[in-house]
Amino acid sequence: MITILYIIDVELKSLENQQSLLELNPGEKQYSIIWFPKKSEMNMSRLIIFILAILTLVIYSCHDNPILPIPNPPYSYKLSGKVILQNQNENSNALIYIDNLNRGVSSDSSGNYTFIFNQGDSVYNGEFKIRYFLNDYDMDSAKIIRLKGKLKLDTLDVDSEGKIKTKELKQIVLIEGWTDKQVYKIGEKITFTARVTNISNRIIHVFIPSFFGPLGYVWLYTEIYPPNTLSPIDPVTLDFDDNLSPKGYYEGKVTYTIPNGYYDGSGFRTLLPDKYIVETDFFIEGRLLNQFQSTFNKYIMDEWYKIVRGPSPKEDGFPNKYKFPTITIIE
């Protein structure tokens, strides 16, 4: 014979012939199960009944005292997010910059970025603005709070995991260029065409301070050597300064001679055979760096080229997604 007693909120008494006593104390209540089977009478059905009784008590206990998930810590040393760039197959080269902290990172090809803070940042406290910048895209921003060097989670634009919601940046101008061929020798002529197209839904003011033709300064870029400025065969000192309506564009074409070298701060440098990107600058009103905070301007000028980033010439002055041609110079 099996006897199951539920003794609640009372002290246990001595019971004769007691062979097994299990006391459970979930929460503030005391539950007791007393089982008096005779070995000769014990079988599988009695064992099942006993197990079910225990399960009943466990479920009741969990109901009164549920197991709560451990909450995430309210602060973190890590901030992350993602940037999606309109009209691009990959999302590298967006500058993500924290005002006042004066720190920036570049998005990778998937658009991901990460900031890692440390104890040395503990002097920077309060609300901070994050800028998302490329010269040919609309800017966006986010806000965070940092206390004693750590990022405060689940506050402003930061979720409980230290992430900022994905930013989708809209392209405002398409800047592209092409050359008359891909391989050149020193002394040969090269014709470079560049175009800026307004792909936004508003008027964009674009200008070129032209001292070397209708495209202004044009450079040969490489990751290894300093940029080499090309001089047009027929220089024209004609500035371009106009408003571009939606879908409007400006296009310039200039012919140059591939030089045998160039001058920099250390003297004359021979132009070596290699691959070079042919590039120029279009100035977009409202996007000039000197119209932003001077600290932001200085950061891009001094630090941008040092940042590890995706496919982009190292000497790029601005974060951008320009589509300029690569040529090969041979001996």
Q: Are residues 151 and 184 in the same domain?
A: no
Which CATH number belongs to the domain containing residue 107 in this structure?
A: 2.60.40.10
Residues 188 and 313 grouped into a single domain: yes
The residue from 68, 102, 121 where one domain ends is 68
Residue 32 has pLDDT above 80, yes or no: no
- What number is the average pLDDT over the span 248-258? 92
Domain count within the chain: 3
3-state DSSP assignment of residue 132 = strand
Q: Average the pLDDT over each of 115-124, 192-201, 251-260, 268-277 and give the range with the smallest value.
A: 115-124
The Cα 152–Cα 77 span in angstroms is: 9
**Residues 240, 194 share a domain:** yes
What are the DSSP calls for 88-121, one per residue?
A: -SS----EEEETTTTEEEE--TTSEEEEE--GGG
56 and 10, same domain (yes or no): yes
Residue 239 pLDDT exceeds 50: yes
Q: What is the pLDDT of residues 291-317, one digit of tens each?
A: 555 788 888 878 887 886 666 555 566
* Candidate from 15-24, 88-97, 227-236, 247-256 with smallest mean pLDDT: 15-24
The three-state secondary structure class of 269 is strand
DSSP 285-309: TTT-GGGS-HHHHHHHHHHGGGS--
Q: For position 311, what pLDDT does the model report? A: 61
pLDDT tens digits for 5-14? Answer: 443 333 444 4
pLDDT in tens, 68-77: 555 566 989 9
Find the helix or strand (DSSP H, E) in which 13 lies. none
Helix (H) or strand (E) holding 130: strand 126-133
Percent residues over pLDDT 70 in the chain? 69
- For residues 245-270, average pLDDT: 88
- Do 63 and 4 share a domain, yes or no? yes
Do 61 and 195 lie in one domain? The reply is no
pLDDT-based confidence at 243, cuts 50/70/90?
very high
Check pLDDT > 80 for residue 18: no
217/127: higher pLDDT: 127
Residue that has been written with the tokens 């310039």 in this structure: 252
Band (pLDDT 50/70/90 cuts) for residue 22 is: very low
Tell whether 33 and 89 lie within a shared domain. no
Q: Give pLDDT, residue 276.
A: 92
Q: pLDDT per residue over 141-157, tens digit each?
A: 999 999 888 999 999 99
Confidence of residue 285 (pLDDT cuts 50, 70, 90): confident
CA 157 – CA 164 distance, rounded (Å): 6
* 164 and 189 housed in the same domain: no
Last residue of a domain, one of 33, 53, 68: 68
Is the domain of 199 the same as that of 278? yes
Residue ending a domain, among 143, 169, 195, is: 169
For residue 292, the model assigns a pLDDT of: 56
Contact 148, 125 (CB under 8 A): yes
* pLDDT score for 294: 73
H helices of the chain, in order, are 44-64, 294-303
Rounded-to-10 torsion of CA 275, 215, 169, 155: 90
Q: How confident is the model at residue 48 (pLDDT cuts 50, 70, 90)?
A: low
Domain that holds residue 164: 75-169
> Quick one: pLDDT at residue 245?
96
- Residues 260, 145 share a domain: no
For residue 100, the model assigns a pLDDT of 87
The answer on pLDDT for 81 being more than 80 is yes
Rounded average pLDDT over 23-29:
43
Same-domain check for residues 53 and 143: no
Indicate if 230 and 297 belong to the same structural domain: yes
Residue 186: predicted pLDDT = 93
Using DSSP bridges, classify how beta strands 326-330 and 183-185 pair: parallel, antiparallel or unpaired.
parallel
Confidence of residue 190 (pLDDT cuts 50, 70, 90): very high
